[in-house]
Structure 1
């Protein structure tokens, strides 16, 4: 008889895109099925602040507050859907590194769920896809959710 693997700590990276929202729904389904913890992660790319000439702490605080409100909504939705243990984190830095390596190591993640694409098409062309990087470098399993493979959104 074949044993099935039980994921215990699932990470979902969200960026507000439609693809990330669909991946979030899939992460909820997997977490419920596996009775796993769900770690919802949003990474604020600090490179986006480097080109702003009037960079100040008020802008960083506003971005952080907006992200926190969104993350609280994601967390509440996961709990209402039946995930027992839900946490969210907002990190600053390189999304590729944080999603694929730093956060999973810090939180003992055994499955990363990501959308097939994210918000920024220009960045994908210039420096490569975050999803592609995560699938290539993560030490744990990665589930890439493609919207064309999902049933119609509720």
Structure 2
């Protein structure tokens, strides 16, 4: 099996597993996302509506898993540790928190809270969502193109 086909197959399988996880966790449902971000629901359910704690477990499990992944793949890696389908790990070089990171994270969080979708669940929901999601994805792509031009 050629290496390029293995890379594409691995990416496809990872995408299916990721999309399945998003759907199982209800992260493709904007009502759950907005309910999770509705901290006011913890204190006054009648005034603010309910708070959905289910996604806190999703977030905690993702953080724990990635903690171990980053811990075991941090440089310098032993010379015998290599990825299966490529020659080396592609790890981020930038480690400091700067203005671009804070602004980008803020814009992402505001958009996520307002609409209830982030890029992964939006794409995973393409087959079941209506025209509003298509508009969201269009503007998400425009935002990504603008971000490339700015940075």
Give the strand-richer structure, 1 or 2.
1
Which protein shows a greater Rg? 2
TM-score by length of 1: 0.33
Give the helix-richer structure, 1 or 2.
2
TM-score by length of 2: 0.34
Structure with the bigger RCO (C-alpha within 8 Å, sep 6+) is 1
